[in-house]
Each structure stands twice: as C-alpha cells, then as structure tokens.
Amino acid sequence: MKFIIKTTLKLLLFFFLLVLPIGLFITFLALSMRGVPLWNLGLRNIVDYGFNYLPHTVVVSYVLAALITVSLVDRIKVKSLFAVHVPVIIAGIITGAGLYYMQEAPVYADTELNVGKNTFFKNDVFSSADGLSIMTRGANTYHVYNRKTNTLSTFVSRREAASSLKADLDRGTFLLYGPDGPVTVPLPPGRRNETLVTMGLVVRYAERARLVYRRIHASSEGLGTNEKLMLAAALVLSTLMILIPLVWTLNDSGWRCAGLFGIFFFLGLAPYFSGFLITMLKRFEPNLLFMGAWKFLFPAVVFGGVGIVIDVIAGLAKKAGR
C-alpha cells in the first residue's frame, strides 16, 4: 500500500514537472507546423493558443511521467510487475478527472491565433518565400521582388492586410491589394533559428503521431462526447499496458539507466507500432457484434490485449531467468 501511494505521488510530481515544458513544446511544434514564426508572437497569444492543446499536453506528460516512474522503481524492493500498474492507473484516473473537469472551466477554450503583419515580417528587411522576396515598409507598403523575372513591384495595401493574414494562415498565403487588384503572396516560413521545433527527426515523429491521431479521430466520428472521452482514456491506458512491461524489463537493478533510455526507444517506436495495428484492424475489419454498444473500444481492447501478452512474456522470462 505504501509503495502504491508513494509511487502514485512520485508519478504526479513528475507529471506536474513535465506539464509546462511539454505544453510549451507541443504548442511550439503546432505553431511551427502551421508555418507561424515564434519570434514576434506575444506570450499571451502563445499561452491562449496553447490551451487548445491542453488534452494533448496532459496525455503526453502523463505517459512520460508514468514511464519515468516505472523505470526508476527499485526492482530489488519491488518484484511484482502487476504492482507497478496500479499507481499508473490511479494517477491516470486523477489526471483524467482533472482534465475532464477543466473542460468546463474558462481556462480551456477553443482560441484562434491572433496574427498580423508583424508576426511574419520584420520591417525594412527582405523575407524569402517561394521565389519571392518581400519587404514591408511602414504600415502598409510592400515591396515584392520576383527572383525569376528580376522585377520589383510595390504595393500600398489600403485594405487591412492583417485580416487576410488570419484568414489564409492554413494556406500559407496572404493578399496584397495593389492598384491592379489583389495579388496572392506566400507567407515567409519561420526563421531557422527556432531550434526547438526544427529538428527533422522531431518534426517527422510529430507528423507520424499526428497521422495516427487523425486516423483514430476519423474512426471515432459519430460517437458522442462521453464515448470519445472513454475511447481516448482507454487508448492511453492500453498503450501504457504495452509500454510499461517493456520499460520494466529494461529497468535492470544492475544497470538502471537502461530503463530510462529505453523509454525513448519505445516511445520512438510507439506511433509506428500503433499506426501498424490500426492499419491492420482497418484491413481485416473483424466482426465486432459481440461487443455490442462498446465496439468503439475495440482498438483499445486490442492494444490492451497486446500489453497483457507482453506482461505474461515478461513474467515468464523473469521466472525462467531465476
């Protein structure tokens, strides 16, 4: 009992330590993938936008905290793999409940980014985008240099260019209004020096994770809010069911760093493995009538099943080792 309470508290401590950096990381990654540079985005803007990713932040922080806690458990004192699952589930219930109730609170809102010309352009310098170099002067003058034709055009945009910046953010373009009518111009990409989110491996991993998330989201269309929440919780727990025994196996009392390093090894593989499982499920389209109204939980059941199998193998391997 003492172990369960102590480990749960440790997990929650790790969770609260991780939630802010993970939240910032996810927010910046989301902004970067949307092509929004960070150097002139106000802090309030970032925080407001970050709240859109509160569920993602909570889930990732919880999973990471759980795995770090499991990898640091002293296996000389604690021998039962089952016992390690209990604090994880308890902490999961607490954080899940917290997230559920936070949805009602005013802090969690579906906020849009507040961007303007100054988000993308520095005055009096040329920014490159798609074969064009664009310079802003003052409030509404734009010089646009076309590198292919070596021509410079100047637009004095009388209309509010900021509104077009907001509207076309997802397309990555904005409108300039000149004497001959509107012209579509690409938005310059973010500066290279935002190192947090420009590491190629990180971006590729995030895109893969987003793909898996979208597949799951697509498969849950038509479900009510409570059912979606149930599916999300079940998937998170069932993913942990797979990861915990793997990390536990590497948590070697003789070399405990292996457990810590192993977390990143398995997390790195997780989106690819999950993506593979989901693809297989879609391909084979099993008959889910036996699950009745709970058939939407089938992916989580499969993940959990795989986790149980790994638990059993880990347990048997340990007995064989003895």
Partner 1 sequence: MKASRKALIFLFLSTVTAFGLVYLYFWLTDGSGGTEGITRELMGSVIARRALVRSLSVLPSIAIFVTITAFSVLFTLAPFQEEFSYSAVAVPSHLFLLLLIVFIVLSQLLLIPKTNRETEWRIYHANAEERALSLSGRFAREGDPRRAVTVLDTYLEMDRMNETAVKKREEFLEMLRKRSSDFGKTMEEETRGTVQTEAPPTYYERGKAALQREEYHQALYYLERALTLHSDNAELRELYARTEKRVGLLIGSLTENEEEIQSLIQRKGRALAYIEQEDYYAAYEILRELHERYPGLGDLALYLHTVEEELKKTDFLPSEPRKYEWLPSFDSIIFMDGGGYINTVRRLVVWNDTYYFYGVDRYRPDGSKMCSYLYGKYIEGKILLKNDTGFVGPACDESVIVPPVDPAILPFIMDTGTLDDRLTVYERFSLGDKLLSAGVDVEDALVYLSRQLGILFAVYVLSLLLGTIGWAKRSIYEFPPVLKLIIFIVTVPLLSHLLLFLYRGANDLLIYSFRYVQRSVFRNTNVAVFTALVNGIIALAVTFFFLSKSSRID
46 or 229: CB nearest partner 1: 46
Tokens of 305: 């099943």
210, two tokens = 């987003």
As a whole number of angstroms, the distance between CA 110 and CA 45 comes to: 13
Alpha carbon of residue 218 to chain centroid: 17
Here the tokens at position 319 are 């007995």
Instruction: Single out the residue of 240, 232, 252, 250 nearest to residue 299, CA to CA.
Output: 232
CA distance 10 to 64: 13
Which residue carries 């979606």 as its tokens?
Answer: 228
Taking the complex as a whole, the smallest distance from the CB of residue 154 to partner 1 amounts, in Å, to: 3
What are the residues facing 134 on neighbouring strands? 127, 144
Helix 81-102 to helix 2-33 angle (10° resolution) is: 50
Q: Tell me which of 1, 2, 43, 218 binds partner 1, using CB under 8 A.
A: 43
Near partner 1 in 170-199, by CB under 8 A: 191-197, 199
Within positions 231 to 270, which residues make up the interface with partner 1, using CB under 8 A? 250, 252, 254-258, 260-262, 264-265, 268
Tell me the three state secondary structure of residue 223. coil
We find the least distance from the C-beta atom of residue 250 to partner 1, in angstroms, to be 6
* Radius of gyration of the chain from its Cα atoms, rounded to whole angstroms: 24
| 105 contacts partner 1 (rule: CB under 8 A) | no
Considering beta carbons, is residue 103 or 141 the nearer one to partner 1?
141
Residue 115, token pair as written in the block = 């961007």
Helix (H) or strand (E) holding 174: strand 173-178
Instruction: Pick out residues in 46-85 that bind partner 1 (CB under 8 A).
Output: none
- Closer to partner 1 by Cβ: residue 51 or 126: 126
Which residues are CB-contacts of 4 (< 8 A; sequence separation ≥ 6)? 83, 86, 87, 90
- Single residue of 179, 180, 181, 201 touching partner 1 by CB under 8 A: 201
* Lookup: tokens for 39: 């150097």
* Residue 130 touching partner 1 (CB under 8 A): no
Q: How many CB atoms lie within 10 A of CB 249?
A: 17
**Contact range with partner 1 by CB under 8 A, out of 8-16, 128-136, 299-307, 313-321:** 128-136
End-to-end CA separation in angstroms for the chain: 26
For the segment 2-41, give every residue that binds partner 1 (CB under 8 A).
21, 24-25, 28, 38-39
Q: Which is nearer to partner 1, 22 or 240 (CB)?
A: 22
By CB under 8 A, name the one of 77, 79, 148, 322 that touches partner 1: 148
In the complex, the smallest distance separating the C-beta of residue 89 from partner 1, rounded to whole angstroms, is: 26
Q: With DSSP H G I counted as helix, E B as strand and the rest as coil, what are the percentages for the chain, rounded to 5?
A: 65, 10, 25
Which span (120-128, 162-170, 179-187, 218-226) binds partner 1, by CB under 8 A?
120-128
Instruction: Report, in Å, the least distance between residue 257 CB and partner 1.
Output: 4
Q: Toward partner 1, which CB reaches closer, 153 or 173?
A: 153
Which CB atom, from 139 or from 152, has the smaller least distance to partner 1?
152
Binding residues among 267-286 for partner 1 as defined by CB under 8 A = 268
Site residues, partner 1 (CB under 8 A): 21, 24-25, 28, 38-39, 43, 122, 124-128, 133, 135, 137, 141, 143, 145, 147-148, 150-154, 191-197, 199, 201-202, 250, 252, 254-258, 260-262, 264-265, 268
